[in-house]
Amino acid sequence: MHELSIATAIVEQAGELARADGTDSVSAVTVRVGELAGVVPEALDFAFEVARDGTALATARLVVERVPARAWCEPCAEEFPVGVPPFFWCPGCDRPAPTLRSGRELEITGIEPAPARP
């Protein structure tokens, strides 16, 4: 399950970003996961729960934003979904469209600091 190594990297990077912002704990981490990134969001969520234990993200939740895979057809000047498994054939002009516009993302897009304790 490579999601565990990805979750571990997310926890490490989010912890570093939080420390750089002067925060010692995090309540949520938002990540964008592309449809073709090769990551199962449910497995990533489970792995995140394991990886966060004993860290500044011990109680943090993982928010996964799923990004659909979309390709670009130059002749039609249109974007279209490619699905899974991907099919890079333009539905408009019935020609191959090899330009992938989205769907391979795997990135941290936000960190929510934990509320300050009184």
Residue 18: both structure tokens together: 């939080």
Query: pTM (2 decimals)?
Result: 0.86
Provide the percentage of residues in the chain whose pLDDT is more than 70: 97
Sign of CA dihedral 42, 47, 50, 51: negative
Report the alpha-carbon distance of residue 67 to residue 45 in Å, rounded: 16
Residue 98's pLDDT is what? 86
Residue 104: both structure tokens together: 């391979």
* Side-chain half-sphere exposure of 84, counting CA atoms within 13 A: 13
Q: How confident is the model at residue 1 (pLDDT cuts 50, 70, 90)?
A: low
Does 20 have pLDDT greater than 70?
yes
Q: How confident is the model at residue 118 (pLDDT cuts 50, 70, 90)?
A: low
Which residues, 6+ apart, have CB-to-CB distance to 22 below 8 Å?
A: none
Give how far the C-alpha of residue 114 lies from the chain's centroid of Cα atoms, to the nearest Å.
21
Residue 40: both structure tokens together: 């199962």
